[in-house]
Amino acid sequence: MKIRTMICSLVLMLSAESHAGDVLPYQVLVEGEGRPVYLIPGLASPGLVWDDLAARLRAAGYQTRVLTLAGFAGQPPLPGDDFLPQVRSALAEELNSHAGAKPVVVGHSLGGFMAFWLAATVPEAIAAAVAVDGVPYLGALHDASATPETNRDQAEQMAGFMASLSAEQYASQNRMALQSMITDSDDIERVVEASRETDPASVGRAMAELLTTDVRPLLSAIQAPVLLIQAADSGASEAGRESFARQVESVADIRHVVANRGRHFVQLDDPDFVASQVLALLDEVDHE
């Protein structure tokens, strides 16, 4: 029977007593049956950025678990100093709790970073990982010599600046950013509207942590196949392709492809390409 219900992420893995009254790291919409496929959106993004791919996955016999992270797109922000570590820890425990077919993790941008982190830290719990225009260390994407330490001041300034924004100022900045990352005007409006109720301070925390968290040293622990789908605009040049390839060279089973068209939100700009690549990987995993 088809399942369609909005659930809080930790219901599947932690007792209600241990989290009573707490803000949870993410909310997840579970639909369908079959091997679970987790779909993690990027910075400030709503789960609806995965609507097309999720529908195709369910039609192919997979269960989809579409996340919206705390503080993004109307979800309450997490307390405390660490944001992404809390998300990773909650997801890692949930992935480890699965019986039956191992889950697959698919992430866009920040979600792609999270897919790498999970694949490296709970390697036996994941059947495959997919990063859509996301890398293991954002801080070194355009400067190979950058490190968490050299990026720390910039990260702290970014977090402080974002926390200072009003809701109106953030919405204006977000619209400008999305106009450079999505091609179709209707898609831009859908994501702008859905992400309007995002907490700017949560965005700043996440950006700061992306600049100061380097998971490349962990990648050799990954056991599952990893698919890296790079956007057409960033992969148009050899230098652009190399900047991504350099980040994942220690992954034993890496498949690095460049989309046919579009910008950063590859799943919106080139949905046929993304779906064909993900479904091909899943078919391979299912027949191992």
Report the CATH number of the 4-286 domain.
3.40.50.1820
Model's pTM, two decimal places? Answer: 0.92
Q: What is the pLDDT of residues 126-136, one digit of tens each?
A: 999 999 999 99
Name the least confident of 7-16, 155-164, 189-198, 268-277. 7-16
Q: Are 12 and 94 a contacting pair, CB within 8 Å?
A: yes
From start to end of 79-210, where are the E strands? 104-108, 128-132
Q: What is the pLDDT of residues 31-64, one digit of tens each?
A: 999 999 999 999 999 999 999 999 999 999 999 9
pLDDT number for residue 146: 96
Res 16 pLDDT > 80: no
Neighbour count for residue 144 (Cβ, 10 Å)? 10
Locate the domains of the chain by residue range: 4-286
